[in-house]
Each structure stands twice: as C-alpha cells, then as structure tokens.
Copies of this chain bind each other. A is one copy, B any other.
C-alpha cells in the first residue's frame, strides 16, 4: 500500500507558476505564456491549464484580458492566509497561554449593549468571564466574555478554573453549533472606575473598546467578547483589498 499524495495537476501548475513569478522569470507587468503554450510545455489539456490560471487570478497573482492574454501582477501583497483579526484571536486564545488573571467567572445580568448584541431581553442572565492580561508585568488589557446563561450553565465557562482551550470550542460544543463569522464593533471611551484601577490609567485616558460578536452561519449571535485597551499602548491593524 502506498500513501504518497500527489497533488492534482492543476495545483502543480499553480505552484510552478507562482515560483516563476516569485523568481522573476515572469516579471510583473509581463505577458504570461498563452494557454496553448502552457498546454504544450506541461502536457496538460486546456481546461486544466485554465483552472490553474483561474485560481491565480482569484488570488491576485495575475489579471486576464480577453483577446490579449494574462498579465503578471506579482505576489499578492495581502497574504490570503489568516490575517490576525482581533476578534478571531480573542475567540481562540486560551487563558493559560496569555499572562492573565481571572477576575470573575459566573452569572450576571447582561448590560444593555451586550444584551442587544446577543439578541436577549434587557437584564437577561448571562455568564461573564473577565480577565486581566499583563505584558512585561504591566496590566495592558481587560478582556470580558459574555455567553447566554442558557448556553453556558453547567459548562466550564461558568467555573473559575482557567479555560484550557479557546472560548470558541467551549461555546460550539455547549451550544451544538459551529461559529461562522464575527461582527466587530470598535469604539473609543474613557475608563470606568474599575478599568481605571485595573489598568492603572488616568480618568481622562482614551481606551479602545472592541466588541466581537460571534455568530453561526444563520447570523444568530452566541457569544460576545469585549476587550478594552489603552489607546496609548495599542493599535489595531487590518489590511483589505480596495475592491
């Protein structure tokens, strides 16, 4: 029995063309060999060549122009692999890996903003986990997770032990759903009294507040993660194509 894995032909062609573009053999702005030429060189049928070129176009390596040919753009500047989005990172972070201190874990009444995000009545019961994250021994971030009590009760989410996996796993198994996307809300505000004390900032400090609402494929919200960052210590970065 053989367990070798040979990638499909079109994938091999993709790899080879990416290599040639990276190496400068096909410089940016130049015309790529035509479908016919590639068919001859690689011994593939036209649909196979076209499929590979279609993937390269979708990923931004090349642009095509009917009647003229395909032009090299170069390696796409925005890597398609996971950009570090704040909300996604919060959802998959474990409490043990970050230098963090658990401040609270248990049932509370949902604040208005959180109830609205979760689609609950005001003052509904939710489970809150609050964490103080330190960097270089200094408090640098407060992170809070809200889950509807109907989902969280009876699970590790409501207990004081550090979570050993990311929030997402717990919510997905407790609710029996697969979290699909995140809706992020970002705003700036002054600290509450508690935040002022925990973060050691002035009353007038400008804080960055990020609310990440994680929803399933139907758009139903299941968990809200809030993180509060002093603006003078943090900056969020994000990259996206213009069109």
Task: Given A77-B180, A190-B204, A206-B207, verify A185-B242 contact (CB < 8 Å).
Answer: no
| Complex contact B241–A187 (CB within 8 A) | no
| Complex contact B187–A236 (CB within 8 A) | yes
A interface residue count range (under 10 / 10 to 19 / 20 to 34 / 35 or more):
35 or more
Q: How far is the CA of A20 from the CA of B238 in the complex (A)?
A: 36
- A69 interfacial contact with B, CB 8 Å: no
| Complex contact B215–A77 (CB within 8 A) | yes
Name A's interface SS.
mixed
Binds B, one of A94-102, A152-160, A227-235: A227-235
- A74 interfacial contact with B, CB 8 Å: yes
| B-contact 0/1 string along A70-82, CB 8 Å cutoff | 0001101110001
Q: Enumerate chain B residues within 8 angstroms of A189, measured Cβ to Cβ.
A: 206, 231-232
The one of B204, B214, B242 that contacts A204, using a Cβ cutoff of 8 Å: B204
Q: How far is the CA of A218 from the CA of B77 in the complex (A)?
A: 6
| Complex contact A73–B206 (CB within 8 A) | no
| Complex contact B207–A240 (CB within 8 A) | no
- A28 interfacial contact with B, CB 8 Å: yes
Q: Enumerate chain B residues within 8 angstroms of A76, measured Cβ to Cβ.
A: 217
Q: Enumerate chain B residues within 8 angstroms of A118, measured Cβ to Cβ.
A: none
User: Closest CB of chain B to A227's CB: distance in Å?
Assistant: 12
| Complex contact A180–B239 (CB within 8 A) | no
Chain B minimum-CB-distance residue to A63:
B217
Q: Enumerate chain B residues within 8 angstroms of A188, measured Cβ to Cβ.
A: 188, 206-208, 229-231
The one of B185, B235, B240, B241 that contacts A235, using a Cβ cutoff of 8 Å: B185
| Complex contact A85–B180 (CB within 8 A) | no
| Complex contact A236–B186 (CB within 8 A) | yes
| Complex contact B206–A190 (CB within 8 A) | yes
Q: How far is the CA of A234 from the CA of B185 in the complex (A)?
A: 10
The one of B181, B186, B203 that contacts A208, using a Cβ cutoff of 8 Å: B186
| Complex contact B187–A231 (CB within 8 A) | yes
Q: How far is the CA of A215 from the CA of B47 in the complex (A)?
A: 34
Q: How far is the CA of A215 from the CA of B85 in the complex (A)?
A: 20
Counting from the closest, the 3 A-B pairs by CB-CB distance are A188-B231, A204-B204, A206-B206
